[in-house]
Structure 1
Amino acid sequence: MISLDLITVALFAAQALALSDSLCNLLQSQLGEKVFLRDTVNLTTVIENYWSAQPQQQNPACVVLPTTSADVSTAVMILGSGLNQGLSYCHFAIRSGGHTPDANINNIDDGVTLDLQNLNIVQPNAANTLVAVGPGNRWSDVYAVLDPLNLTVVGGRSETVGVGGLLLSSGMSFWSAKYGLPCDNVFNYEIVLANGSIVDANATSNPDLYRALKGGSNNYGVVTRFDLRAVETGLFWGGVAFYNVSSLPVLVKAYTDFSRSANYDPASQITLLHGIHDNTSIVMMHQHYTEPVTSPPEAVFANFSGDVANTFRVDSLLNFTIELAAPTDNGTVRKAFVTTTFKNNAENLQGFVDLCNATIASLISIPELQFISSYQPFGQYISSHANATGGNLLGLDASDGDRVLVGLTVQWQGVENDDIMTTALQKLIKDGNELAASLGADDDYVFMNYASKWQDVYGGVGAANLEEFRRVSLEYDPTQLFQIGVPGGFKLLEPTC
């Protein structure tokens, strides 16, 4: 362990340097070649591109690329000591895969970006019941190791999404109807706390922290390893179906019937999507069936017939995640996620589809506009699995019934259009929520993985759960390093500086 007295002396001895540089030089003195200063190297040559332009264009004073949890501990102690001294440039961001599109979440201007890309273990245990996975992996890295072993984990469905961000938000998986949300399939977290200690959080060790990390984002520490439930699997059926735009109302009705808990087949997973892509209106549906069959039972997807083309086949999980990955453009396009949640109601869903189409029409002149709205079943067949692994604080109660999870993925060019896009998206969500309330289909849950920075994620978990999230934060991070020193993301408390 590095001495805090040594850190304090070194910080004050560096007064001749800009404060941001003094911290970066101190980090470099302790971590050597794992620290890259912007004044000595082009940082884009040592880290992978971000998914969107907003974080890609940010300019941290330095980037730390730890290779061990001990490295992370050292960095956190240095940064925490700087914050305690009241320095202005000791704020930092934590990056797993860099897929969140907003600025100031996985990158930072003038502070320190802690990039976890080299914490990339993927190791099943001897019994093939758990898989140790590092936060620096993307899901394609995980499945490339596990597919040949006929194993998988309850993880992401897009190859470019990072492990850390998905699991600490909650996530959604092809296997969620069978096993629950990805966060509910983490059996142990190895985490570096604000004081630099490296601890495990699981059902028996630090169980309150274990529950809070399921949807806890970056509020409690830096997770350096996830131990995930291993699931036996092999090749399975799935693909993407494409429809005429005129089919959308019929698909909306079929979707709401399909998604009800009473008749849901837990091996199935669908996502209905519509919008505009490359100046063309599109309607499509992801359909997957995770049992080892050459085709699903005929009745499962029977009401989604009428496609004009599809990619249905038996294939590996890795190949399906490659197919569903959003196009990468090396961080050159501005992007946004936005979300809302409704009760499963066909009239309301069709109304929201109409609102989306009106929003697209109002934005059609924005350069390189892409606007996709997606709808996923989010029934009790998913959230009911949480208690089997100690529960969570997400507020997904059985009494709330079945939900529709809405995710908007939008992109455009030009920073001058940011405010126009944000205003339009905020109005869409406001109008959609008001429509839902008028039909008794409103729901206050906000799915963190798809949320925009202006959305109140923790406001939807319920007062008692929010209080517990905050209590655990104060217990394990009494100096509130991860509330104040890590300003990006969805915070539990209002920052004080």
Structure 2
Amino acid sequence: MMVKPRGLVILGLSFIPGLVLGSSNTAALPATSAASQLATATQPINMGEDFNAFAKSIGLSSSQTCKLKAKYDAIVNGGNSPEDNLDLACQVAQESLGADQVDSAPVGQALINENWSLTCVADAYCVVLPRNTDETVKAVRVISYFKVKFAVRAGGHSPNPGWSSVGQEGILLDLQRLNQISLSSDKKLCSLGPGARWGNVVATLGTQNATVLAGRNPLVGVGGLILGGGYHHTSSEYGTVADNVKNFEVVLSNGTVVNANIDENNDLFWALKGGGPNFGIVTRFDVYTLPGTEIWYQLAIYGLDQAFDILDTFAKWQQNEGSSDFKANLILSLGIDSHVIGLVYSAPAPEVPSAFAPFFELTPLQVVVPATNGTFASLNEAIAPFVPMEQMRHDYGGVSSRVDAQLYKDVYTFWAERALAARDATGANQTFVLQHVPSNMVAQGIAKGGNPLGLIQETHQWWTTLVDWREAKDDDAARAVTIDTVAQWKKLGQERGLYLPFYFMNDSGRNQNPIAGYGQANVDKLNEVSRKYDSSQFFQTQQVGGFLLSRA
């Protein structure tokens, strides 16, 4: 009989029946009226560029332009009602892109509800769904011209309010239709749209005997994960997911399209590899494929009382096998009732690879997925039965430190007490996840054109958590465990000389400021790149959420 203990989550891959998958410095937006939001969020209509020239630039006909300009003039002459301004922006987008590409008020609830976390569900004034780069350009020009607020959604997997959703104060630019997955004839390069989901990417490439560094959660979108850096099972060997991008196709705030790579717009190429949503909208990622597709993996459940043994073993492994055999990596998730260790080796093996020798001494309660030679596609399939689809409220947070078993155990003890209390009070489930970062992962980034993350070139760890709960009234209590645990990591880490100021963007909560942790020199360079490619600071002033440089 398969063991399915309550509270078992693997990097967001939930084994709880009925529980969903779980991948700034601003707090959740307060509830306000639509009129109040519009009044404070929408700027005066654009008075600089002639409307006729603007209309021509987005492909409107003479008759369309004449009809819409009459409304434009009425708004300008009548005092520019913010709601009228937004309404006209949505109508112009619809005329330019077509009715099927713009869902106007009232927006269909199914489209609004596509965000993974209920903390991010918000009723946008309208949703624009471009199908290609040209339509993305038109959407950006419309949003910029009317100076309305906006949010960008690729997979919508952030739990941070405003990161991939916007309320009645703005337009949601939804990239789900830019979901291309195209493999080159020599199978060395794959072109991906930002709206593709990693599970589909891995499965599609698997049928062509190819694979790429991907998101470990199949439901996560391509765009957000890469722009935040991205961590994969093979990151120890090849670097972050962003480090394995050859070229970014980017729509800039002025509506032009550029390619950013090692030869063209090299500074933008560097900035996009973990710099977040600050520079443009990426409409295509050209990424390198991996040289092999076969891997070895195993997944096992351990008892609650084995936490300290697991943490001791993990720290020992990090400093030895994990720092020498870069094909080896772990899924390590401690829960409220039980724990999970997933062993992943990026090559086939006739038996358990010796790189995992320290874990031989731990006796699992159950081997959920036995030792298997397969692919990343088959690994995703193996965990698929344990991924229920119920939508809930989610949160996460991150922190990093040098390797130290005692620090791990002390913080785990602190976290476990509070996580149990929060579950008793709210029903929230929480995880305690450690992610291995060897020096080679950092070296790979340097060798592949660099990135802005500012990582130390020594073995360390990135901690994260996933919190799942149901009721909005429990938001503060559920989130407090993560916030308090991050503070404890920092306090104990600083006292012991183990704390690192890096916060992995893909795991950072709304109250965190990951870009500031990249180091002042990198922050200064990111701001320089932002001013160069976004002179109007469109992405800093009109975008409602995300880890923006203006807030770093």
What residue is the counterpart of 2:341 in the other structure? Answer: 285
User: How many aligned residue pairs are there?
Assistant: 480
- 2:544 equivalent to 1:487: yes
The Cα shift of 1:258 comes to 1.0
Whether 1:60 aligns to 2:100 is no
Answer yes or no: is 1:92 the counterpart of 2:150. yes
Moved more, 415-424 or 109-118: 415-424
Residue 363 (1) aligns with residue 431 (2) = no
TM-fit CA distance, 1:5: 6.1
Aligned residues of 1:51 and 1:329 also touching (Cα < 8 A): no
Inter-CA distance 123–11: structure 2 relative to 1 (3 Å threshold): farther
Deviates more, 1:444-453 or 1:300-309: 300-309
Which one has the largest radius of gyration? 2
Greater alpha carbon shift after TM alignment, 429-438 vs 476-485: 429-438
The answer for the alignment partner of 1:354 in structure 2 is 413
Q: Name the SS for the 2:98 alignment partner.
A: helix
Q: Alpha-carbon deviation of 1:120?
A: 1.1
**1:300 and 2:356 matched:** yes
How far apart, in 1, do the equivalents of 2:406 and 2:464 lie?
A: 18
In the other structure, the counterpart of 1:18 is 84
Q: Which runs of 5+ in 2 are unaligned?
A: 1-51, 59-67, 76-80
CA distance in 1 between partners of 2:256 and 2:55 (Å): 17
How does 1:126-145 map onto structure 2 within 5 Å? 126-145=185-204
| Separation (CA, whole Å) in 1 of partners of 2:70 and 2:517 | 44
Report the 3-state secondary structure (helix = DSSP H, G, I; strand = E; otherwise coil) of the residue aligned with 2:532.
Answer: helix
> Quick one: distance in 2 between partners of 1:258 and 1:194?
46
| Aligned twin of 1:420 | 477
Q: Mapping of 1:236-255 within 5 angstroms?
A: 236-255=295-314
CA contact under 8 A between 1:395 and 1:461: conserved in structure 2? yes
Which shifted more, 192-201 or 430-439? Answer: 430-439
- Whichever residue aligns with residue 132 of structure 1, its letter is S
- Root-mean-square deviation (CA, aligned residues, Å) is 2.2
Q: How does 1:165-314 map to 2 (within 5 A)?
A: 165-260=224-319, 263-276=323-336, 281-304=337-360, 305-310=362-367, 311-312=369-370, 313-314=372-373
Sequence identity of aligned pairs in percent?
28
Q: Is the 8 A contact 2:415 2:481 kept in 1?
A: no
Counterparts of 2:444 and 2:70 in 1: how far apart (Å)?
50
How far, CA to CA, are the matches of 1:187 and 1:419 in structure 2?
A: 41
Moved more, 320-329 or 218-227: 320-329
Please state whether the residue corresponding to 1:383 is helix, strand or coil: helix
SS state of the match for residue 112, structure 1?
Answer: strand
For residues 312-363 of structure 1, give each alpha carbon's deviation from its aligned partner in whole angstroms, at most 9, with x where no partner exists. Answer: 22233123235557845453x1110111111111110111111111211331
Post-superposition, which runs of at least 4 consecutive aligned residues in structure 1 deviate over 6 A? Answer: none
Separation (CA, whole Å) in 1 of partners of 2:281 and 2:70: 24
5+ residue gaps, structure 1:
84-89
2:313–2:358 CA contact under 8 A, matched in 1: no
1:198-237 residue CA offsets vs partner (Å, 9 max, x unmatched): 1100000000000000112111111000000111323321
Deviations 1:7-37 (A, max 9, x none): 8947723628633222111111111124333
For 2:277 and 2:288, the matched residues in 1 are separated by 22
d(CA) in 1 for partners of 2:128 and 2:357? Answer: 48
Question: 1:484 Cα shift?
Answer: 1.1
Between the aligned partners of 1:157 and 1:324, the Cα distance in structure 2 is: 11
Aligned counterpart for 1:334 among listed residues 380, 390, 393 = 393
Which shifted more, 30-39 or 123-132?
A: 30-39
